[in-house]
Amino acid sequence: MSETPHPPAVAFEHVTTVLSGRTVLDDVSFAIQPGEAVCVLGKSGTGKSVTLKTIMGLMTPDAGRVFVEGEEVTDAPRHALSEIRQRLGFLFQNAALFDSISVGENVAFPLRRHTDCDDREIDEIVCEKLVQVGLDADYAKMPSELSGGMKKRVGLARAMVLDPPILLVDEPSAGLDPITADEIDDLLCGLRDERGTTLVVVTHNIPSARKIARRMMVLDGGRIVAEGTAAELDQSDLTLVQEFMKSKGSG
């Protein structure tokens, strides 16, 4: 008896998204396997963040279908979408911390909503996650008291607090100094290697992408124009891909 193959962690089937009359994603199809780390590259406004938000079900495509672990996200009813989202972590570009509650409560938020853990257990998990991002001393601080890099690390702690099998990361190094950016890259690599977390990372930062990704996709004009390992993309004939791969941009 043959083993049932795992469905892809994330799959796009002919996805098209039009925003304000502009086609942002144009018949895009791809599949990301469980445990894979994929970086989505591309110039600003080419639909990278839209791709992540579409996976999360925050945006609905005008055509095509999106799957997470074999379950369709597009047109999923509210409760089903909520369950799917619990298997996804999302680090927003600007962290998107809830500014009316403390750092600790931000990280605890998904636990309070989706688990039966008591306050002591929640505290333990939150502290463990904050230790991982190096912010255990900042538990009681409000988001407004944190720097951009610290906010991003809290955002990462919140995104991984339920230990989701898939993590979506939007511009992890944008606006950060190289040292902090490198620390966040290390955290993502740790999740990839130690937990087998599937990573979908949107970035402009090629050194960071080389470090995190096993596979890269380059978006241009709403389409995937190149796809492969860093070594494969280094050999690409496309000017855009060559320029990207030679860049040392820090996001």
Partner 1 sequence: MNARALTYASSWLGSVGSLTLFAARAARDLFRPPFEFGEILRHLYELGARSAPLIAVSGLAVGVVLSMHTRATLERFGAESMIPAGLAMALVRETGPLTAGLLLAGRIGAGIGAELGAMRVTEQIDALEASGVDSFRYLVVTRVAACLLAFPLLTTILNFAGIFGGYLAETLSSGMSLQLYMQRAFAMIDFPTFVPSTLKTMVFGFIIATVSSWLGFNTTQGTEGVGRASTQAVVLSSILLIIVNVLLVQAIFVMFPSVR
Instruction: Identify the CA nearest to 38 among candidates 194, 238, 222, 227.
Output: 227
- Between 93 and 242, name the residue whose CB sits nearer to partner 1: 93
**From the CB of 110, what's the least distance to partner 1, in Å?**
5
Q: How far is the CB of 62 from partner 1 (least distance, A)?
A: 18
Q: Which is nearer to partner 1, 97 or 188 (CB)?
A: 97
Contact status, residue 153 vs residue 135, Cβ threshold 8 Å: yes
What angle (nearest 5°) sits at the alpha carbon of residue 7, between those of residues 3 and 13? 145
How far apart are CB 162 and partner 1 at their closest, in Å? 9
Task: Enumerate the β-bridge partners of residue 13.
Answer: 65
In the complex, the smallest distance separating the C-beta of residue 227 from partner 1, rounded to whole angstroms, is 26
Residue 143 DSSP symbol = G
Of 90 and 244, which CB lies nearer to partner 1 in the complex structure?
Answer: 90
Compare residues 18 and 96 and give the one whose CB is closer to partner 1: 96
Q: How far is the CB of 174 from partner 1 (least distance, A)?
A: 13
Single out the residue of 106, 202, 211 nearest to residue 160, CA to CA: 106
- 152's CB contacts (< 8 A; 6+ apart) are 91, 95, 172, 176, 180, 184
Q: Which is nearer to partner 1, 105 or 220 (CB)?
A: 105
Alpha carbon distance 136, 176 (integer Å) = 20
Interface ranges with partner 1 (CB under 8 A): 53, 56-58, 78, 82-83, 85-86, 88, 90, 92-94, 96-99, 109-110, 113-114, 158
